[in-house]
Amino acid sequence: MNTVVEAKNLSFQYDTVPLLKDVNFRIYEGDFMGIVGPNGSAKSTLVKLLLGILKPQQGTIFLMGQPIEVFQQWNEIGYISQRVRSFNASFPATVEEIIAANLYHEMGFLKFLRKKHHEEIERVLEVVDMGDYKKRLIGTLSGGQQQRIFIARTLISNPKIIFMDEPLVGVDVASQEKFYTLMEKLNKQLGITLIMVSHDLGVITEHTSRVACVGNQQVFVHSSKTFNEEQYIKSVYGEKTKLLLHRH
């Protein structure tokens, strides 16, 4: 299996507060990795470090085998941040304009959209099942629909890896189901490596292939099949914690 992301002896602190200490792990091509951990455990920080948005005090990150400092193929990396849907709801931009923005490097000096770009936009909208929404204003869509548009925006640059930071916050349950169906399609059919931060432990272990637990300045990676949810919750919230399993 090819390693597409690797953290080697990674340490990071905000001011004097250490968040990650000598962390080592690998993410392989085709993985669907969930990143879980209690609030403030540095899940988002870890993603930002892996994307080079934050710089570690110590250690190295490798993307597609290259140290992040010299990595150039950023078009192969997609990122859907936690704040992606925090834009001004009356922003006058159509779905097409938002997706086209991610073709910045493909458009040449004058940044004109050509026929092939329009076809690409239609293709990614079909992938996320939003083909009829090209001319709609982004602010008029529901939370779940907006999330699909931002996935389409990421897909337009044909990424090999997509990082997502809590993509389902504020998205209703029905849309969450659709989201995971789409993720399966991207992961299994298109072969895209997915890395997703989530606080929803039950759902994430059900859908992902591996789980990275972040906490106590460390990162531990497990296979989702062997991941013991109850044991993990007790280790985070204390031995007296009990899981209340129920169905809605």
Partner 1 sequence: MYMPEILSYGFMQRAFIAGVMVALICPTIGIFIVLRRLSMIGDTLSHVALAGVAAGMLGGIYPIYSALVFSILAAFGIEKLRKAYQDYAELSIAIILSTGIGLATILISMGSGNAAIFSYLFGSIALVSSRDVLFVMILSIFILVSTILLYRGLFYITFDEEAAGLSGVPVKWLNHYFIVLIAVTIAVAMRIVGILLVSSLMVVPVATSLQLAKSFKSAWLYSMVFGLLAVLIGLTLSFYGDLAPGGTIVISGVVILMVTIFLKSIIKKKEVSSSGMSITNSLSK
Residues in contact with partner 1 by CB under 8 A are 51, 53, 74-75, 77, 79, 81, 83-84, 87-88, 90-94, 96-98, 100-102, 104-105, 107, 110-111, 135, 137, 153, 157
CB of 67 to partner 1, least distance (A): 18
Phi, psi of 12 (to 5 degrees): -145, 140
Based on CB atoms, which residue is closest to partner 1, 29 or 97? 97
Based on CB atoms, which residue is closest to partner 1, 1 or 17? 17
The secondary structure of residue 192, as a DSSP letter, is -
Based on CB atoms, which residue is closest to partner 1, 55 or 111? 111
Sign of the CA dihedral 117, 120, 124, 130? positive
Cα(53)–Cα(154) distance, rounded to whole angstroms? 17
CB of 189 to partner 1, least distance (A): 24
**How many CB atoms sit inside 10 A of residue 51's CB?**
20
Cα(100)–Cα(220) distance, rounded to whole angstroms? 38
Based on CB atoms, which residue is closest to partner 1, 108 or 202? 108
Q: Are 229 and 243 in contact (CB under 8 A)?
A: yes
Based on CB atoms, which residue is closest to partner 1, 78 or 204? 78
DSSP β-bridge partners for residue 202: none
Burial class (CB in 10 A: 0-12, 13-18, 19+), 175: middle
The secondary structure of residue 137, as a DSSP letter, is B
CB of 186 to partner 1, least distance (A): 18
CB of 71 to partner 1, least distance (A): 12
CB of 112 to partner 1, least distance (A): 9
